[in-house]
Amino acid sequence: MGVVIEREEWALTPLAYPLLSAASLAAVLLLPCFSPPSHSTGGAAASSSHPPSPFDVGTTPFLRFRRAFLFVFSLASVAEGIHSVFGEDECTRCGLGREQMASRLAAAAAAALFLGGLSGVVSDKLGPRRACIFYWTLQLAVGTLKSFSGLRCACINNLISALASSMFYFCFETWFVAEHEKQGQKQDLLFDSFWLMTFFESMSLVGSQGITNLLVHDDDKGFLLPYAFAALLSVVSILYIRKNASSTTHHASVIGSYQKSFFAHVFRDKRVLILVLAQASILFSMSAFWFLWAPTIVADGRDAQLSLISPCFLASRMFGSISFPWFYGATAPFRNEDSLTTAFITAGIALSIVAYDYQEIGTLVILFCIFHACVGFILPSLARLRTMYLPNELRGGMMSFSLGLANAALFIFLMQGAYHQNIANSTILGFAACGLLVSGGCIHMLRRRRKHPRQDTRSL
């Protein structure tokens, strides 16, 4: 008599998607109603009683640049999403085992650690516009190589992709802040743009999953359409930046003066060191999550459609980014550092619960959604604090230094946990949770160091 093994599948409730979408839409639509009235010169009295949408605030040249910037930034997010979503299947199709996969991931982390750390300095020296063109050149190279089935398993692809991903955040953020300084806009417009970047990034990552699913068809025939589409996006973006983006001025300096300035503003400023630690902790926790969330969920023993769960995480991140403008400014219920401290602690508690003991799949999904909502709030908050305490000409070097710390920890855990299997997944998540909790305490110390809690220490 044969044994029949019943297959039990866990399904996500259909209400999750409309609830997250409705919450994000309500946060965007209701924000102007609860914002202070606009006092723009030349505006009518009626316009001051109805504050404009954050999408329409600013002068015409600035609005034109921000729309073009968000367009290029969204294309970059789509390209990053294609490489991450479709790249997870590469190792399996190439016939690599667990140890080989771990060694390749560790090699990519090592490349991002050493080459990525130098890329921040190079970006500061080249200028933000040229740095973005260099980023797209790397994306074009890796997209072209991976478009052919015979080349997609080459180790050089992982190195180039790791270098491009390490430049993704700081080159675009530096470019936007430099243009903001050039046009002399208000700081509120810059802070709104930070959460818009996180919002559009999350939305583009969701879209990249749909694009990848549409383009994946008969990829064994030799030509991979998802990577070819990513290469096409790179060509379009390079041509668009060269034709439409103005050459933004940057503070060029010799290497010696750059080193002196970097030591003075980064290593000798405890406030900036706190931001370095906080940025490194959130980047490491994000990387650890995307490595471990799928094994954590399937450890329940039941089947689950992971492709339907991951969009909820990105939607939660969108909701967290939209919550950012509600918690800063003169009318905010709490100071930004207090809200940021709460977000770090909440994210740390969510991961610590996952690492502490086994949880049901539904509980895990809720905890992971809470974690991503906190991430969506933390990223623009840290960008705001970087603008307050750090000169923009050092932004790339500082962010790449934070990324280097995160990649160093990631390299150690990949080698010890995935390759040598000496560290459990729960230990890695626990370490990430501890880093978030410590960062929350550091941000609380940062608030106490401010002499003027309601004023910025650096004007743009």
Over residues 407-434, the pLDDT tens digits come to 888 888 887 766 567 788 888 899 999 9
Show the tokens assigned to 261. Answer: 């300035």
CB 327 within 8 A of CB 333: yes
Comparing CA positions, the residue from 410, 428, 398, 285 lying closest to residue 344 is 285
Model confidence at 6, pLDDT cuts 50, 70, 90, reads low
Tokens of 76: 């970059």
Query: Measuring CA to CA, which residue among 196, 450, 204, 201 is closest to residue 324?
Result: 196
More confident: 232 or 24? 232
- Domain-embedded: residue 329: yes
> Which candidate, 451, 433, 446, 202, places its Cα nearest to that of 336?
446
What is the helix (H) or strand (E) element at residue 398, kind and residue range? helix 395-413
Residue of 156 and 57 predicted with greater confidence: 156
pLDDT tens string 110-123: 877 777 677 888 88
Look at residue 309 and tell me whether its pLDDT is greater than 80: yes
Buried b (16+ CB within 10 A) or exposed e, 301-338: eeebeeeebbbbbbbbbbbbbbbbbbbbeeeeeeebbb
**What pLDDT shows up at residue 275?**
92
- Structural domain contains residue 139: yes
Question: How is residue 186 written in tokens?
Answer: 């208000």
Which residues are CB-contacts of 194 (< 8 A; sequence separation ≥ 6)?
A: 173, 324, 379, 380, 383, 384
Q: For all residues of the chain together, what is the average pLDDT?
A: 79
34 belongs to a structural domain: no
Cβ-Cβ contacts under 8 Å for 275 (sequence gap 6 or more): 382, 385, 386, 389, 390, 398, 402, 446
- Looking only at the bridges linking them, the beta strands covering 9-10 and 303-304 are parallel
Query: pLDDT confidence of 87, banded at 50, 70, 90?
Result: low
443: buried, middle or exposed (CB in 10 Å: 19+, 13-18, 0-12)?
buried
Is 122 within the bounds of a domain? yes
**Per-residue pLDDT tens digits for 335-388:** 667 889 999 999 999 999 998 877 788 889 999 999 999 999 999 999 999 988
Task: Say if CB 104 and CB 420 are below 8 A apart.
Answer: no
* Better-predicted residue by pLDDT, 244 or 92: 244
- Residue 153 included in any domain: yes
Confidence of residue 252 (pLDDT cuts 50, 70, 90): very low
Buried b (16+ CB within 10 A) or exposed e, 384-407: bbbbbbbbbbbbbbbbbbbbbbbb
51 phi, psi to nearest 5 deg: -60, 140
Residue 31 lies in a domain: no
* 162-180 mean pLDDT: 87
Q: Which is higher by pLDDT, 46 or 145?
A: 145
pTM for the full predicted model: 0.87
Domain count, the chain: 1
Range of the domain at 100: 59-449
Q: How far apart are CA 353 and CA 356, in angstroms?
A: 5
Q: Is residue 266 part of a domain?
A: yes
Quote the CA–CA distance of 315 and 332 in Å, as a whole number: 24
How confident is the model at residue 331, as a pLDDT? Answer: 55
Return the CATH number at 82: 1.20.1250.20
106: region left, alpha or beta (phi > 0 left; psi from -120 to 50 alpha): alpha
Q: What share of the chain is helix, strand, coil (3-state, %, to 5)?
A: 75, 0, 20
DSSP characters over 63-125: HHHHHHHHHHHHHHHHHHHHHHHHHTTHHHHTT--HHHHHHHHHHHHHHHHHHHHHHHHHHHH
Give the whole-angstrom CA distance, residue 284 versus residue 434. Answer: 11
CA 364 – CA 367 distance, rounded (Å)? 5
- The whole-angstrom separation of Cα 460 and Cα 442 is 25
Indicate the residue type of 243: K
Residue 41 lies in a domain: no
In the numeric block, the tokens 């936007």 are attached to 176
